[in-house]
Copies of this chain bind each other. A is one copy, B any other.
Amino acid sequence: MSQTAAPREGEQRCKIIAAAERLFREIGYQKTTVADIARALGMSPANVYRFFGAKSEINQAVGRQMMREVEEALREIALGPGSASQRLFDLVTANEAMNAARYVSDRKLHDMVEAALTENWPIIAEHIGNVDACLELVIESGVKSGEFAPLDPKLGARLVHTACIRYCHPRLLVECADHAVPSSAQMIDFCLKALRNGR
């Protein structure tokens, strides 16, 4: 791939992130070097370093991009049609399915997730906050419509997210894979009972 004239910085960054993600899936996150990424794009490592100061910045950007895709899907559900209960169900199950597809089935990507968790990358707290915000939208609308009992939507979002952590957290998705009960559907039903009732 040759460089086009005056490519916008954002576009170049996107290309680098996409190439890095592909390599992380193919040869693994640890084994991929900046030189590999540059070679895949037909550019020099020095050119990659114009956009990212270090490999660690590329790692974070790949992780952020994968999480953003999930967040966008969840936000669409949160703002979509249907009762608050239905949207809460759809949101948690979509989150579970997307995380499982991204981080569990793909063993090579799971290594990156392990590193992100162990090294506590800042993108994790950001992602948790963004999922919380989606849950908050649903709970706020449910409280407004009277479907749910009065409750601070921020607290409600944290409660549902924490109660459902076994279906969100990549490590727990692996660790609890053999625990069929409770299913996410059973857990969401349990949370909905709590949300519907003020006491």
Q: Using CB atoms and an 8 Å cutoff, list the residues of chain A in contact with chain B.
A: 117, 155, 158-159, 162-163, 165-166, 169, 171-172, 175, 179, 181-182, 186-187, 190-191, 193-194, 196-199
State which of B117, B171, B187, B199 has its C-beta within 8 Å of the C-beta of A159.
B187
- Which residue on B lies nearest to A161, using beta carbons? B182
Q: Do B187 and A163 touch across chains, with their CB atoms under 8 A apart? A: yes
- Which residue on B lies nearest to A124, using beta carbons? B175
Other than the given A162-B187, A194-B194, 6 more pairs (CB < 8 A) read A159-B187, A159-B190, A163-B190, A165-B172, A191-B194, A193-B194
Please, how many angstroms separate the alpha-carbon atoms of A95 and B4 in the complex? 61
Query: Can you list the 4 inter-chain pairs with the closest CB atoms, starting with the nearest?
Result: A194-B194, A163-B163, A193-B194, A197-B197
Please, how many angstroms separate the alpha-carbon atoms of A198 and B193 in the complex? 7
Please, how many angstroms separate the alpha-carbon atoms of A190 and B191 in the complex? 8
Please, how many angstroms separate the alpha-carbon atoms of A117 and B196 in the complex? 36
